[in-house]
Amino acid sequence: MDLVLWRTFTIIFSVEFIIGTLGNGFIVLMKCTDWIKGSKLSFVDQILIGLAISRTGLIWLIFLDWWLFMLYPILHMTEKMLRMYYISWTVLNHLNLWLTASLSIFYFLKIANFYKTIFLYLKFRVKKVIAVTLLVSLLILILNIIIIKIYVDMCIVGAQRNVSYTSSINNYEQSCKLLAFTNPMFTLIPFGMSLTTLLLLIFSLWKHLKNTQHSMKDSRDISSMAHIKALQTVIVSVLLYSIFFLSFFMKVWGKSWKDKYFFSLCAWALGIAVLSGHSFVLIQGNNRLRWAWRSVMLWFRCRFKSAEP
């Protein structure tokens, strides 16, 4: 690998790793501290904790995989290591995206204003809706793991053989491409759910603003502010995960080995950026976390000022 490229991506991965670990770790630390002090964890707090833990696991997995690839490339490509990596990635990424979708559904059902019977039915049973969603996602996860294991075995068998026929080479490359596309295909479901809730929240806000204009009320009421606050979180979530899906497909766009390798590095960088950046969006969208984060930053600022001569 080019030395400049290696150093560049090492710096990028290291910075993203630190930021992501701090952001997601802060969420878990604050929520667990409140729980230890006797405060009851709300339903959304439990989702945030699970989301932060899964993202921390993903960040560590990608970061450790990078260093293993750079320092011990032979160990990185062993059969056991490949299976462990792909299955771990599948589980953590699945939890990450489905918990994100569950959070979007929660905001939508709690904040949106629709008077349809089915919406009101779901609105008053939001916990059951989330529980059923996560239960269905568990079944999808099992199916995803089975398919991933099949494609990983096909890639490993193809790599271990001394391939001498074009048809065998084509089969091997096809199975590895299918492996690269499997996770994005499964994760399109929660991404679609998040996108749907975003569009419905926008429509709900538009209807609410229209009604307030007709009734000559202030458009900056509590409901409007709640809509905007939820939209900020969901919009950034959808944008970040659009980048996340793009990072997957970049891996198969390159025609040459160097192109694919460079795209893979970019995909890793974008993936960690998503996992790191969205934690701070969640912190800004939660009053308790935002206040605690600002307090911590203010404390560090005062400490640095007092340390200056």
Average the pLDDT over 9-18 and give the result.
Answer: 89
- For the stretch 93-137, pLDDT in tens is 889 889 988 988 988 888 888 888 888 888 889 999 999 999 999
Tell me what the pLDDT averaged over the chain comes to: 79
Q: What was the pLDDT predicted at 256?
A: 52
Q: What was the pLDDT predicted at 152?
A: 74
Q: What was the pLDDT predicted at 177?
A: 59
* Residue 206 in tokens: 């538009």
Q: What was the pLDDT predicted at 169?
A: 39
Fold category of 3-295 in CATH: Rhopdopsin 7-helix transmembrane proteins (1.20.1070)
Q: Is residue 54's pLDDT more than 80?
A: yes
In this prediction, what percent of the chain has a pLDDT beyond 90? 16
- For the stretch 229-262, pLDDT in tens is 777 777 777 776 777 677 666 655 555 555 666 7
Mean pLDDT comparison of 67-76, 154-163, 207-216, highest-scoring range: 67-76
